[in-house]
């Protein structure tokens, strides 16, 4: 359930999230996390993962071919592996980007929606997908967010209560950072609630394929450019 009076359609929401992601990644590359500017940039960036999980759940609801959707995510998860791992550390290692986590999130949604097995096996399957997601960005949390958005799509109260509980766990998990207050930016995740509940109108916007493919191309490309700037130009 969305706000019909919201001013953002699906395409506009997607581009807003892409800008937030770019700001967040620029901060990770060049701005100290404990600085005021770093905190502000990361607060903006907290809109990214949960909103992507929401759009994934919406995409699952509207897609005519889940297999093609999953294949597209899987292919670009592999394509993004080298740029993401290089961006993170300056060399290739076992770290995948958010598209990998979204791929696992889609599998989790499919499991609960179409899986012909008991609830126990679905829970175990979800646990397995969460464990696999530790190699990706927004590990575990995006899988859980996507499931919440899918299962409580038409129940705002249950959706946002569940979302807030998972987000609280995410915020607490950052308390071990040094200095301890440097993880406060995670509270920015709660901004996703008014963004989706009050600003998104549920409309798709233009059907031009450009809007569908832009993120898949932009994601690995911007990571590669930022990685080169971070580890080669400004190293």
pLDDT in tens, 179-190: 877 889 999 999
* pLDDT tens digits, one per residue of 189-208: 999 999 999 999 999 999 99
Whether 176 is in a domain gets the answer yes
Is residue 47 included in any domain, yes or no?
yes
Decide: helix, strand or coil at residue 8: strand
Which 3-state string (H, E, C) describes 142-204?
Answer: HHHHHHHHHHCCCCHHHHHHHHHHHHHHHHHHCCCCCCHHHHHHHHHHHHHHHHHHHHECCCC
Q: Is residue 2 part of a domain?
A: no
Burial of 156 (0-12, 13-18, 19+ CB in 10 A): middle
Residue 5 maps to a domain: no
Number of domains in the chain: 1
Strand partners, 200: 8
Say how far apart CA 126 and CA 104 lie, in whole Å: 9
Q: Tell me if 1 is assigned to some domain.
A: no
Range of the domain at 186: 10-233
Token couple for 35: 């600085």
pLDDT value of position 126: 98
pLDDT at 1 over 70: no
**Does 33 reside within a domain?**
yes
Least confident of 27-41, 120-134, 173-187, 213-227: 173-187
Q: Is residue 3 part of a domain?
A: no
Three-state DSSP class for residue 109: helix
pLDDT at 173: 82
Does a structural domain hold residue 4? Answer: no
Q: Tens digit of pLDDT for each residue in 48-107?
A: 999 999 999 999 999 999 999 999 999 999 999 999 999 999 999 999 999 999 999 999
């Amino acid at each position: 359930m969305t706000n019909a009076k919201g001013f953002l359609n699906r395409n506009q929401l997607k581009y807003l999230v892409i800008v937030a992601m770019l700001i967040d990644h620029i901060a990770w590359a060049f701005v100290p996390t404990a600085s005021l500017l770093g905190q502000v940039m990361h607060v903006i960036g907290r809109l990214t993962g949960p909103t992507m999980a929401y759009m994934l759940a919406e995409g699952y609801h509207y897609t005519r071919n889940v297999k093609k959707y999953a294949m597209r995510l899987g292919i670009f998860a592999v394509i993004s592996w080298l740029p993401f791992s290089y961006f993170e550390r300056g060399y290739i290692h076992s770290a995948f980007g958010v598209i990998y986590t979204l791929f696992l999130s889609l599998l989790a949604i499919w499991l609960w929606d179409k899986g012909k097995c008991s609830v126990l096996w679905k829970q175990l399957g979800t646990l397995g997908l969460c464990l696999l997601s530790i190699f990706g960005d927004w590990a575990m949390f995006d899988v859980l967010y996507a499931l919440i958005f899918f299962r409580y799509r038409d129940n705002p109260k249950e959706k946002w209560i569940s979302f807030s509980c998972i987000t609280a766990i995410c915020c607490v998990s950052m308390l071990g950072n040094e200095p301890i207050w440097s993880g406060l930016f995670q509270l920015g995740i709660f901004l996703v609630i008014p963004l989706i509940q009050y600003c998104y109108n549920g409309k798709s916007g233009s059907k031009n394929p450009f809007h569908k493919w832009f993120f898949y191309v932009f994601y690995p490309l911007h990571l590669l450019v930022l990685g080169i700037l971070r580890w080669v130009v400004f190293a």
